[in-house]
Chain A
Amino acid sequence: MSDTTMDKSGTGKPGFLSAATLQKAVAFVVLIALVLFFSIFANNFATGANAVGIMQATAVNGVLGVAVTFVIISGGIDLSVGTMMTLTAVTAGLVLTNLGMPLPIGILAAIAAGAFMGAVSGVVIAKLKIPPFIATLGMMQIARGLALVFSGAKPIYFNDTPSYSLLSPESTISKLIPGVEIPNGVMIMFIVAIIASIVLNRTIIGRMIFALGSNEEAARLSGINIDNWKILTYAICGGICGIAGLIVSSRLNSAQPALGLGYELDAIAAVVIGGTSLAGGRGTVMGTIIGAFIMSVLTNGLRVMGVLEEWKIVVTGVIIIVAVFIDIVLRKRA
C-alpha cells in the first residue's frame, strides 16, 4: 500500500510525532478554552489561590498519569496504579513511622516498593504471557490487599516525621522566589514529567518503549530482548506510582490504606485525553499532564460554579469520548 504513498509528507517530519503533537495542541487549546470559560462564568475562579488549588488537585493524578503513560505507549495497560500508590504510601509509613527510619530511606522505600511490584506485573506479563489487562487487574487487588494487611487496615500517620510535609504541602519555591506559592507536590509532578519526557525521548529506554508499542514482533526479530524491556517498563510505572504515593500521603499527613480504588481510571483518562493512543506506540508525557489539568480544571470550575457532582462526572465522561474521537480523526488524517 505504502509503495504509492512514498514521500507524501516530504517534510522529513515524522508523521506520528506530528499527529501526537497536533493532538497535544488540541488538548492544550481545550485547556485554555476551559480556563477562559470558567474565568468568565465562574466567580472567584481566576485567582492565584484557586490556580494553586487546581495544581494541587492535579498533582497525584498527573503523576499517576505519567506512570501509566509509559505502559500505554509500550502497548500495555496498568490498572494497578491507584492501589499501587496506596501500597507505596503505606510502605513509606511503615518505614518512617513504625521503623523510625530517616526521610530519604522512606522515599526510597516507597519508590522501590512500587518499582518492585511493577516489575512483578512485568514478569507476569512478559514471562507468563498473561494479558496486561488481567495481570494488572490482579495486581490492583494484590496491592490493595497488601496495603490493608501491612497497615493493619489503619491509617499510618507521619507526625514523627515533620519533614514529610516537604513532599507535598510545603512550598520550597516560595522561599526562593517569594510570591510563587506552588506546593512541592506540584513541583514534584512537573519534575517527574520533565524527567519522564527526557527518558521517553532521549534514552534508549524510551526508544524501546515506543518500539514495543509500535511493533513488538519487529523489535523481537531485531534481536531485542523484549521481555526485559517490558518488565522495566512496568517497573518504571510502579516506581512513579511510588512518587504519587509519597505526594498523596504527605498531603494527608497519613497513609490511608483504603484510598486508591478508581484512581487508575482517572489516570488512564488523563493519558487518553492527552493524546496517547491506547493502541500503543504513540504518545507524550506533556499531553498526559495537560490531560490531567483538563480534568482538574473541569472539576474545579464546575464546583466553583456550584454544578452538582453528578453532572461533573457526566461532563468528564463526555470529555474522554470527545478526546478519543479527536484521536481517531487525527490518526486517519496522519
Chain B
Amino acid sequence: MPGEPEARRPVIEMLGIEKSFPGVRALHNVRFDLFPGEVHALMGENGAGKSTLMKILTGVYQPDAGEIRVDDEPAVLPGPQAAQARGISIIHQELFLMNHLTAAQNIFIGREPRKAFNLFVDEDQMKRDAAAIFKRMKIGIDPGAEVGHMTVARQQLVEIAKALSYNARVLVMDEPTSALNETEVEHLFAVIEDLKANGVGIVYITHKMDEVKRIADRVTVMRDGQYIDTLPAAATPMSKIIQMMVGRELADQHRATGHGTTEEVLRVEGLNRGHVIKNVSFTLHKGEILGFAGLMGAGRTEVARAVFGADPIDSGSIRIHGRETRVATPADAVANGIAYLSEDRKHFGLVTGMSVRDNITMASWRRYISGRVFMRDAAMDAVAKEYVAKLRVKTPSVDQVTRLLSGGNQQKVVIGKWLLRDCDILIFDEPTRGIDIGAKAEIYRLLEELAAQGKSIIVISSELPEVLRLSHRIAVMCEGRITGELDGRTATQEDIMTLATQRNATAA
C-alpha cells in the first residue's frame, strides 16, 4: 500500500453527482475520488448505483448535476472517447473483444499503425507495440494469438493492455474476478499491484469482501443511489462494511409470520453443475415459502433452472413428494407439478406477442382442444377470464397481447398459467423485478395466499427486504454453494450478507 495517498492530488473527483432515469432516481448527491496508485473499492448491493456512477465517470451517461474533476480541473466527458482521451478506461464484466482477431489487433483496433503510404496495416509494428505493453505488465501473452482461443483471464489481461495502450491513468474494473479461478485471481492481483506501482488509479467494483481486504486501499459504500461513506479498507471490519451496505433498519418492515407444514414436497440432494452449482441440497415443505438469497452470480437462478430441468445437471437427486424423480426437461418438471417463473418474463415467461388467454392456457393446452387439434376457444376464454378475475389481472380483455400489460400484471398472467396447470411447487425468480411498489405489495399478498392454500413456493430475490418479508426459511448462496440456512422470522440482513459473502465457507 502506498503510504499517505492523501498527500497527493486526486486524479479523479466526483462531487454532488445526480442522475435520474424516467421514474427512478438512480444517484443522489454522490461523491467519489481516486488517487494515483490507489485501489479504491466501490461496494454496495445490487442496484445501489455503482454501475451508473461508473458509467458517468467513463462518459457513457451524463450526470444531471454535479461536478467531475480530472487532475483538479473541471472536466466534461460527453462520451467514452472523451473519457479515454483523459486516460479513463473501463474493463467490463463481460469483455468487449473481437474473438477472431489477435491480441495485438484487438488492442489497436481503430488506430492501427500504418505503412506504405498509409495503405497497409503495419502488423509487425502493432505486434511490437503490444508486446511492449505485455512486457510492461510482466505477462507472457503472444500478441499474435487469437483472442477467442484464450482463457477469460487472459482475455481480461488483453483488455487491460488495451486500456494501458490509451495511457490509462484510471482503470475501472467491474467484478474482474467473477470468472477467474484462484491462480488467475492471484495473477490479476499481481498485475494490479504493478499498475499501482506505476501510478495507475484503480476503481475496483466487487462483492467479495476478502478481495477488498486483500488489495483495496480505501472502500466506498453506496446504498440506494446514495453515498454512504469512504473508509480505509484494512482498518474497517467486514461486519461494518456489510452493515453500511445493508443500512436501513427493519423495524417498520413486514416480516414473514407463518411457516410451512412439516410435509416435505421437494428434496434436492447433492446437486452439481459445472462450476455454477456445487453440492446444493435443500428441502421444501407444503405451504412453505423458502427464500433463496445471495449476490448476483451466486448460482440461485442456476439451481432453479436445474430443478426445473431447463439446464442439464452433472449429478444430484430430486425427490418430489418423497419419490425420486428424473427431471430432464421442463416438460418433466411441469408434469410433476413444478413451475418456474423466470426473472426475465419477457424472454422466458411470456410469449409476449400472444394474448393473455393464450399465455394462461399455454401450459395446459391439452385440456382445451377437441378432435385432437381444434382449440376450444370458448372454454379457453372462460378459464382465462376466471384466472384474470381470481388473480386480479388488470387487462381490458383476455385478448390483450401481454406485451402491453404492466410488469405486475404480466407476472400474474404467468402465475395464472402455472396455477391452471395445477402446479403446486412454484419457483419464483425475482418475482417483483421491474414491478412498481404498489404492485409489489399485491404480488406479496398473492404469494402468501398461495402458500396458505398449500402451494409450496421458492422465492429467489436479490432484494433483502423482499426475502425477509416473504420467507419462512431462507437459504443463502455464495459461489454455487448454500452457505447457510436462516429462520425467516428472526434473520437479519446482516446475517444474510455475511453468509452471502462467505467465500469457500463450506468447501467440500
Residues of chain A touching chain B, judged by Cβ–Cβ distance below 8 Å, are: 2-16, 199, 202-205, 207-208, 210-211, 214-215, 217-225, 281-282
Chain A proximity of B49: nearest CB distance (Å): 20
Assess the A2–B330 pair: CB atoms within 8 A: no
Q: Provided the pairs A6-B409, A225-B331 are in contact, do residues A218 and B350 lie with their beta carbons within 8 angstroms?
A: yes
B424 at interface, CB cutoff 8 A: no
B116 at interface, CB cutoff 8 A: no
Assess the B394–A6 pair: CB atoms within 8 A: yes
Assess the A218–B347 pair: CB atoms within 8 A: yes
Residues of B within 8 A of A4 (CB): 22-23, 406
Distance, CA A225 to CA B334, complexed state (A):
11
Q: Provided the pairs A220-B330, A223-B330 are in contact, do residues A281 and B353 lie with their beta carbons within 8 angstroms?
A: yes
Assess the B347–A215 pair: CB atoms within 8 A: yes
B166 at interface, CB cutoff 8 A: no
User: How does the 8 Å CB contact mask read for B73-100 relative to A, with 1 for contact and 0 for none?
Assistant: 0000000000000000000000000000
Assess the A210–B363 pair: CB atoms within 8 A: no
B144 at interface, CB cutoff 8 A: no
Assess the A223–B401 pair: CB atoms within 8 A: no
| CB-CB nearest in chain A for B336 | A223
- Further 17 A-B residue pairs, CB within 8 A, beyond A202-B375, A207-B375, A223-B333: A3-B406, A3-B435, A9-B404, A12-B397, A12-B399, A15-B403, A16-B353, A203-B375, A204-B375, A208-B365, A210-B351, A210-B354, A211-B351, A214-B351, A218-B350, A221-B308, A222-B334
Assess the A223–B395 pair: CB atoms within 8 A: no
Q: Provided the pairs A6-B404, A8-B404, A12-B400 are in contact, do residues A214 and B348 lie with their beta carbons within 8 angstroms?
A: no
Distance, CA A10 to CA B436, complexed state (A):
21
Q: Provided the pairs A215-B353, A222-B362 are in contact, do residues A14 and B334 lie with their beta carbons within 8 angstroms?
A: no
User: How does the 8 Å CB contact mask read for B151-189 relative to A, with 1 for contact and 0 for none?
Assistant: 000000000000000000000000000000000000000
Assess the B362–A224 pair: CB atoms within 8 A: yes
Q: How many residues of B contact A (CB 8 A)?
A: 51
B355 at interface, CB cutoff 8 A: yes
Residues of A within 8 A of B333 (CB): 223
Assess the A217–B375 pair: CB atoms within 8 A: no
Residues of B within 8 A of A7 (CB): 394-396, 400, 404-405
B358 at interface, CB cutoff 8 A: yes
| CB-CB nearest in chain A for B399 | A12
Cross-chain contact of B396 among A3, A12, A211, A222 (Cβ < 8 A)? A12
Residues of B within 8 A of A9 (CB): 400, 404
Distance, CA A222 to CA B338, complexed state (A):
10
| CB-CB nearest in chain A for B409 | A6
Among A203, A218, A222, the most chain B Cβ lie within 10 Å of the Cβ of A222
Residues of A within 8 A of B408 (CB): 3
Among A3, A11, A208, A217, the most chain B Cβ lie within 10 Å of the Cβ of A3
Distance, CA A208 to CA B369, complexed state (A):
13
| CB-CB nearest in chain B for A5 | B404
Assess the B369–A204 pair: CB atoms within 8 A: yes
Residues of A within 8 A of B352 (CB): 2, 214-215
Residues of A within 8 A of B330 (CB): 220-223
B270 at interface, CB cutoff 8 A: no
Assess the B363–A203 pair: CB atoms within 8 A: no
B310 at interface, CB cutoff 8 A: yes
| CB-CB nearest in chain A for B340 | A221
Residues of B within 8 A of A281 (CB): 351, 353
| CB-CB nearest in chain A for B434 | A3
Assess the A14–B399 pair: CB atoms within 8 A: yes
Chain A proximity of B328: nearest CB distance (Å): 12
Residues of A within 8 A of B346 (CB): 2
Assess the A6–B363 pair: CB atoms within 8 A: no
Residues of B within 8 A of A224 (CB): 331, 362-363, 365
Chain B proximity of A174: nearest CB distance (Å): 33
Among B348, B353, B401, B436, the most chain A Cβ lie within 10 Å of the Cβ of B353
Chain B proximity of A54: nearest CB distance (Å): 34
Assess the A223–B334 pair: CB atoms within 8 A: yes
Chain A proximity of B401: nearest CB distance (Å): 5
Assess the B358–A207 pair: CB atoms within 8 A: yes
Q: Provided the pairs A12-B396, A15-B404 are in contact, do residues A205 and B373 lie with their beta carbons within 8 angstroms?
A: yes
B374 at interface, CB cutoff 8 A: yes
B417 at interface, CB cutoff 8 A: yes
Assess the A222–B363 pair: CB atoms within 8 A: yes
B342 at interface, CB cutoff 8 A: yes
Residues of A within 8 A of B340 (CB): 221
Distance, CA A282 to CA B409, complexed state (A):
23
Cross-chain contact of A14 among B335, B400, B417, B436 (Cβ < 8 A)? B400
Residues of B within 8 A of A6 (CB): 394, 404-406, 409
Chain A proximity of B309: nearest CB distance (Å): 9
| CB-CB nearest in chain B for A282 | B353
B225 at interface, CB cutoff 8 A: no
Cross-chain contact of A223 among B23, B335, B353, B407 (Cβ < 8 A)? B335
User: How does the 8 Å CB contact mask read for B386-423 relative to A, with 1 for contact and 0 for none?
Assistant: 00000000111101110111111110000001000100
**12 A/B residue pairs, CB under 8 Å, sorted by A:** A2-B346, A3-B407, A7-B396, A15-B401, A15-B403, A202-B374, A205-B373, A207-B365, A214-B353, A221-B342, A221-B348, A225-B329
Residues of A within 8 A of B373 (CB): 199, 203-205
Cross-chain contact of A13 among B369, B394, B399 (Cβ < 8 A)? B399
B349 at interface, CB cutoff 8 A: yes
| CB-CB nearest in chain B for A214 | B353
Residues of A within 8 A of B407 (CB): 2-3
Assess the A3–B362 pair: CB atoms within 8 A: no
| CB-CB nearest in chain B for A2 | B403
